[in-house]
Amino acid sequence: MFGLMQDRPLMIASIITHAARQHAKAEVVSKNIDGTIHRSNYAETERRARRLARALIALGIKAEDRVATLALNSYRHLELYYAISGMGAICHTINPRLAADDVSYIVNHAEDRIIFIDGVFAPVIAAVAPLIGKTVRAIVIMGNRAQIPALNLPAGMDLLCYEDLIDGADENYVWPEFDERSAASLCYTSGTTGRPKGVLYSHRSTLLHALAVNVGDVIGIRAVDRILPVVPMFHVNAWGIPYSAPMAGAALIMPGRHLDGASIAGLFNGERVTISCGVPTVWLGLLQHLRSSGERIDTIRRLTVGGSAVPRSMTEAFGTEYGVELGQGWGMTEMSPVGTYCQPNAANAHLTGDELLRLKEKQGRALWGVEMRIVGDDGAALPWDGVAFGLLQVRGPWICSAYFGDAPGSALDAEGWFSTGDIATIDADGFMEITDRAKDVIKSGGEWISSVQLENIAAGHPDIAEAAIIAARHAKWDERPLLIVTAKPGHEIDKAAVLDVFTGKVASWWRPDDVLVVSELPHTGTGKVHKMILREKYRDHLVDKG
């Protein structure tokens, strides 16, 4: 017997129609490329998205067509999210930080028909235009006529203007309803190893994920909040915030291209931001700015951080120096992306001080909707004792089952588990802690050393700005940890003092064999330290040193 409840499909358009009706005046604020501020709201966003949907239809876009964006966080990008998915097409966000070769590969693999771009990314399109003519019919500049850059496109590929499209379309459009399992958006992994792979989100997965990240123990957005996603809309839908903020009715503050500490702090204070989300490097930049300028961020009640491990020293600094709670989440492109979040539960609600900081080093407990387990080399599940570590696997309604173009289910094992590629422990209270990405683990004399744990300790040293540990080749032990660091502005690094910070914190054989001081660490397109580049460069450092 089925329940007798209304079988209404979970549609992305329903988020923006809800926000337009219930939270019409909630602001959408964007910092433009030229530094000026643009103000809109959810009623206006929905109205313009309707016009845009009409314009897409006029351009020949049909359900399931891929319409791409190459754009920063802005009100126009938000309008595109809703117009494209809302009309039944697929919003393919492209990461402009990828190499041109990867961009053309992705566009061709996705068979994009139109690409909407911020004018600043015209050089990216200029580089790939001759290679993407098979399916791409038009490039649309997200601006007005005066903002159209000079761009030579091959025959058959038009150069169009976003505001002209909106002006030329009427808003008499009714959002269609269709199967909630239909594809809504597409994002490619950044492919630090091998070619990028496409993750195809559905309307249903997107709405369930948006609801799940909105609970109090995760991002917990309320209608009176003003949230600034530093995480980009061009990668994993900015952690779903462009959906969960209008769902909650919170104001959205879009930072555009200005992501340095001073610009972020300026927006926080100027726009009275209460919540923000970013990767650790962004918060590191903010912290450095706050410390050197003396500026405060008193409207912020929660900073959310994820994408790579969060050093304890950073959580402590924001808490004690600025009274701001830094909450860590974990996830991946294949998981929409959020899988876990670290907030105390009944088992550890009493923790304070050092014990609470230790808990907050963990990536946290699974959100409802995400099942997780760790398995050993033989595939058998390992105990949740906080000690046993193995490959982390996940299952759930917003986790991918196959990559775009592959057969449904092909990314899963026989029991439906997706292997994350992360190595983790899970403690008795359900808190997961990443010890490494499988490919970054250090195997010294057959024993594993956690690079994440060593990096975390190194990041606590007062002279170190950023730290990375890589596996360097070693004649006797196969691999040994090598620490590569950058110094805080105005600080000198004393190698012996740096190596001393590990004493008593880890087993003595975990201590890095050497410290390399560099002026800058390379980062991936998603803001993580690019360990592959470091490995290529410094893999033989210990062997060469003798």
Q: Which residues bind ligand ADP (CB under 6 A)?
A: 189-190, 192, 306-309, 328, 330-333, 337, 363, 420-422, 434, 437, 524, 526, 528
Q: Which is nearer to ligand ADP, 50 or 92 (CB)?
A: 92
Q: Which is nearer to ligand ADP, 437 or 539 (CB)?
A: 437
Set 189, 420, 486, 526: catalytic member:
189
Q: Which is nearer to ligand ADP, 75 or 243 (CB)?
A: 243
Q: Which is nearer to ligand ADP, 190 or 274 (CB)?
A: 190
Q: Which is nearer to ligand ADP, 61 or 534 (CB)?
A: 534
Burial 67-98 (b: 16+ CB within 10 A, else e): bbbbbbbbbbbbbbbbbbbbbbbbbbbbbbbb
Residue 357 in 3-state DSSP? helix
Q: Which is nearer to ligand ADP, 189 or 281 (CB)?
A: 189
Set 192, 295, 371, 448: catalytic member:
448
Shortest Å distance, C-beta 502 to ligand ADP: 20
281 tagged catalytic: no
DSSP string, 301-355: -EEEE-SSPPPHHHHHHHHHHH--EEEEEEE-GGGSSEEEE----TTTTT--HHH
340 tagged catalytic: no
Residue 363 in 3-state DSSP? coil
Shortest Å distance, C-beta 499 to ligand ADP: 24
Integer Cα distance of 478 and 446 in angstroms: 8
Shortest Å distance, C-beta 336 to ligand ADP: 10
Integer Cα distance of 180 and 12 in angstroms: 9
334 tagged catalytic: yes
Integer Cα distance of 400 and 334 in angstroms: 5
Shortest Å distance, C-beta 525 to ligand ADP: 7
Set 134, 443, 505, 545: catalytic member:
443
Sign for the CA dihedral angle at 116, 121, 126, 129 comes to negative
Going by C-alpha positions, the residue among 453, 449, 480, 486 that lies closest to residue 467 is 486
Shortest Å distance, C-beta 436 to ligand ADP: 8
Both tokens of 182, joined, read 């239909």
Shortest Å distance, C-beta 342 to ligand ADP: 8
Integer Cα distance of 33 and 37 in angstroms: 9
Integer Cα distance of 165 and 527 in angstroms: 34
Shortest Å distance, C-beta 434 to ligand ADP: 4
Residue 229: asked if its preceding bond is cis (omega within 30°), the reply is no
Burial of 455 (0-12, 13-18, 19+ CB in 10 A): buried
Q: Which is nearer to ligand ADP, 189 or 244 (CB)?
A: 189
The total of other beta-carbon atoms located within 10 Å of residue 215's CB is 14
Set 79, 334, 466, 479: catalytic member:
334
448 tagged catalytic: yes
What amino acid positions are annotated as catalytic residues? 189, 334, 443, 448
